[in-house]
Chain A
Amino acid sequence: MSASALIPYTVETRPDTGLNNVKIGIWLFLASEVMLFGGLFAAYILLRIGAAQWPLGASILSVPLAAANTLVLISSSVTMVMSWASLVRKDFGKFRLFMGLTVLLGLVFMGIKATEYMTKFHHGLFPRTSTFLAIYFTLTGLHAAHVLGGMVVNAYLWGPGSAMWKSEPLRFTNRVEAAGLFWHFVDLVWIFLFPVLYLL
């Protein structure tokens, strides 16, 4: 008998709330993440309003690279949904394909981000150089840490974690759904980051 039998509603839906525990847990976590990035965006607004001058994002940062990254992340969200949908349709092969693609796209994102950062450092542009760069590095750095975290989880679900498909397929599907929700959130943060930092 598995762990989920002891605690009710880990997999099956509780009738009066319409939720299982994992789903409500991940949504609560995302609510806290909204407050986290919200706090950082609030800091950005306060710093920019109080600044004597503030550079145009495009004058310091590479809009083409970030635009490419936006496409990369949006695509990875699509592949993430496809990987979950494949599990719902009981197609484990397709799941592995799409989840693998999601992890790969995440790697591409990190690669482009690393290129951006290294270019900045080579030009002597560090967080300590200006308030704009400080908030840029902190916002994108924290976001990148979340991308990395999501990638680690996704890689685990693609790899060793996928053994659960054989023993508890529904529970595994729910886990992939939760990871997908997190991944979408990380994508959504980027959708805000890109215009705010690069275009405004």
Chain B
Amino acid sequence: MTEALEGATHHPEVLGWWRKYIFSVDHKVIGIQYALTGLTFLFFGFCLMMLMRWQLAFPGVALPVIGTLFGENRMPGGIMLPEFYNQLGAMHGTIMVFLGVVPLGVGGFGNYLVPLQIGAPDMAFPRLNMASYWFLFLGGVTMFVSFFVPGGSAQSGWTSYPPLAVISDGNGQTLWLVGMVFLITSSLLGSINTLTTIIQLRAKGLTFMRLPYFVWAQLVTGVLLLLAMPPLEVAGILQLMDRVAGTSFFLPTGLVVSGQVLAVSGGGSPVLYQHLFWFLAHPEVYVLLLPAMGIVSEVIANNTRRPLWGYRALVGSALFLGFMSFVVWAHHMYLTGMGTTISIFFQTTTMIISVPSVVILTALILTLHGGSIRFTTPMLFALAFVPMFGIGGLTGLPLGLTATDIPLHDTYYVIGHFHYVVAPGSIFALFAGVYYWYPKVTGRRLNEFLGKLHFWPSLLCMNGIFFPMLIQGLAGMQRRLYNGGVDYAYAQPVLHLHKLISFSAWGLAVSQIPFIVNFFWTLRKKATHEENPWHATTLEWAAPSPPPHGNFATVPEVFRGPYEYSVPGCAEDYLPQFAAVGPATADS
């Protein structure tokens, strides 16, 4: 089927600059757009946090040098107002989750790699792909602009609980809701594309059980986004109606605001919002996690020169995790007054859902046993993911049981828990992915020394930030306090940890400099265009580096499983999926 090459004639031979780089329908360009957008917002969200950390380490103290730049309505005299702290908090969470990790993990890595790893020329719906990126862009612009309207951005937490989110002044919260509608649309359209692509466009010989684990992870992620995003859209629409049309979906009867009963029809339920929100937001955390696990699996298999241990268990775990993620959501709502029967249900499902993650981590660890480990930079990040995610997962267990959740809910322990899974967890995995696939995307390898200079301080600082939070939370320190709890007697013994955390956060920022330098400086080097520098086995390494439009010179065919490393009797220590010679093995 050499029409794959001639198929390029279906659009003009020379695309203008705008059609080639900005409004492209090529999944690789779109993937890069998503990735760059995601990385930019990760950086921006991180900056918001660094500002917050000043206030927490030195509450009420003017921020030197740049403090007065934020203006009198945010930081008069350089001292942060509580309202601004709350804006930073709400937007940090929103941006990191919806504009950082998801666009990078799903839109970036997913879009770029899924067609390549399954041997397809592009995603199933290229124009829909482009549309879904521009919805993300619109959502990002909306969120960014919301900082600059009177009253500032959303400031009721990334969770936007009513009644507070409904009654908050200004247009910031309304813009947040509009922005969320754009972002949800982007994810929905993207998931339809991903699922159709994986199901329909696999190359000849690529059965489901020969798929790289990364593709399985993206498949389950796509299902989660497809089915869980709409209820959040409903929550957003209903809250918009409450804010703009004067309805009271989420406002109870007789709500008193500033000493006066609110003039609304009442009859609404704040808990209804929480149900709708968390029905998405719990599967959302697996959307943050699964692509990361996919990336780590690829990098570990490749750098151990061994097949992934327990491929079938890994696949089953991903599917089971996806299914279970829909029936645990109310473990975020244990303190809303639910009865014991329903809380027993959610505690049980929550305990059960920890099992697949453990299976996955165990499989990754067992993969290492007897392996020929190459400590390349991607491997370092992937290896660090395992214990970091392990800490994150284990600290989730007391939160999943009501008896222990009662003192821990809404404390810094929660912040410590979820950041462990998502920061030295998912984000480290995403870094591993950047280092691993940079050669495929650019035809050059990132510098290893700078990579290690990025990794080790980052690992240290991540733990310096989030481990003390676990201690603070166990002491009872509440989250979302603009001055870090100075007014509370029980917080006094752990207040000093704020300084350690803040310095670690600023240290983490400095640790990213080698990465940023490496990322851009490497682009200036001459490209080596190595097709398979890591000696890997999956299909994307059959394409040129970078792949042209249409991806493959000839349509690939798959002959074996995805992780045929160290095959006995083989001259090389790897046998790619796409290599015709060599024994065809049973599915892995």
Contact = CB atoms under 8 A, between A and B. Distances in A.
Q: Real complex partners, A and B? A: yes
Interface string A33-69: 1011011101100110011100000000000000000
Given A7-B201, A24-B200, A25-B192, A1 B7 contact: yes
Given A7-B126, A35-B227, A39-B230, A134 B241 contact: yes
Contacts of B245: 126-128, 134
A17 interface: yes
A5 interface: yes
Nearest to B232: A39
Contacts of B7: 1, 5-6
B272 interface: yes
A20 B199 CA distance: 10
B265 A43 contact: no
Contacts of A19: 199-200
Nearest to A54: B267
Given A7-B120, A21-B200, A47-B249, A39 B234 contact: yes
Contacts of B3: 1, 5-6
A28 B226 contact: yes
B241 A6 contact: no
Looking at chain A's contact residues, is the secondary structure mostly helix, strand, loop, or mixed? helix
- Chain A contact-residue range equals 35 or more
Interface string A122-165: 00001111110011001000100000000000000000000000
Contact of B188 (A1, A8, A32): A32
B220 to A, nearest CB: 14
Given A5-B7, A131-B268, A43 B234 contact: yes
Contact of A36 (B120, B124, B192, B234): B234
B497 interface: no
B564 interface: no
Nearest to B8: A6
B276 A32 contact: no
Contacts of B192: 25, 28-29, 32
B268 A47 contact: yes
A200 interface: no
A126 B245 CA distance: 9
B446 interface: no
Contact of A129 (B121, B226, B230, B265): B265
A17 B208 CA distance: 12
A29 B234 CA distance: 16
A121 interface: no
A3 B253 CA distance: 57
B229 interface: yes
Given A28-B226, A36-B233, A127-B247, A46 B275 contact: yes
A91 to B, nearest CB: 29
A36 B238 CA distance: 12
Interface in B225-282: 226-231, 233-235, 237-238, 241, 245-249, 253, 264-269, 272, 275-276, 279
A189 B241 CA distance: 21
Contact of B265 (A36, A131, A138, A142): A131
A17 B121 CA distance: 19
Contacts of B248: 128, 131, 134
A197 B406 CA distance: 40
A50 B266 CA distance: 11
Contacts of B279: 39
- Chain B contact-residue range equals 35 or more
A15 B309 CA distance: 32
B249 to A, nearest CB: 6
Contacts of A7: 120-122, 124, 126, 201
B176 to A, nearest CB: 19
Given A2-B10, A46-B272, A35 B228 contact: yes
A17 B233 CA distance: 31
Given A25-B125, A25-B196, A32 B265 contact: no
B47 interface: no
Contacts of B267: 47, 50-52, 130-131
Given A25-B125, A39-B230, A46 B247 contact: no
B310 to A, nearest CB: 26
Contacts of B246: 126-128
Contacts of B249: 43, 47, 131, 134-135, 138
Contact of A138 (B124, B238, B253): B238
Interface string B455-469: 000000000000000
Contacts of A24: 195-196, 199-200
Given A43-B272, A127-B245, A6 B200 contact: no
A14 interface: yes
B276 A39 contact: yes
A105 B305 CA distance: 64
A6 B122 contact: yes
A47 B195 CA distance: 34
A24 B196 CA distance: 6
B487 interface: no
Nearest to B245: A127
Contacts of B124: 7, 10, 21, 25
A101 B200 CA distance: 34
Given A46-B275, A127-B247, A138 B230 contact: no
Interface in B270-321: 272, 275-276, 279
A131 B245 CA distance: 12
B443 interface: no
Nearest to B123: A7
Nearest to B272: A46
- Counting chain B CB atoms within 10 Å of each CB, the highest count among A20, A21, A129 belongs to A21
Given A6-B3, A46-B272, 18 more contacts: A6-B550, A10-B124, A24-B199, A25-B124, A25-B192, A25-B193, A29-B188, A32-B227, A35-B231, A39-B276, A40-B234, A42-B275, A43-B272, A50-B267, A126-B245, A128-B245, A134-B247, A142-B237
14 contacts: A5-B3, A14-B200, A20-B200, A21-B124, A25-B124, A31-B227, A35-B227, A39-B233, A43-B249, A43-B276, A50-B267, A131-B249, A131-B265, A135-B249
The 10 closest A-B pairs by CB, nearest first: A128-B246, A6-B7, A39-B234, A36-B230, A39-B231, A131-B267, A134-B247, A35-B230, A21-B124, A28-B192
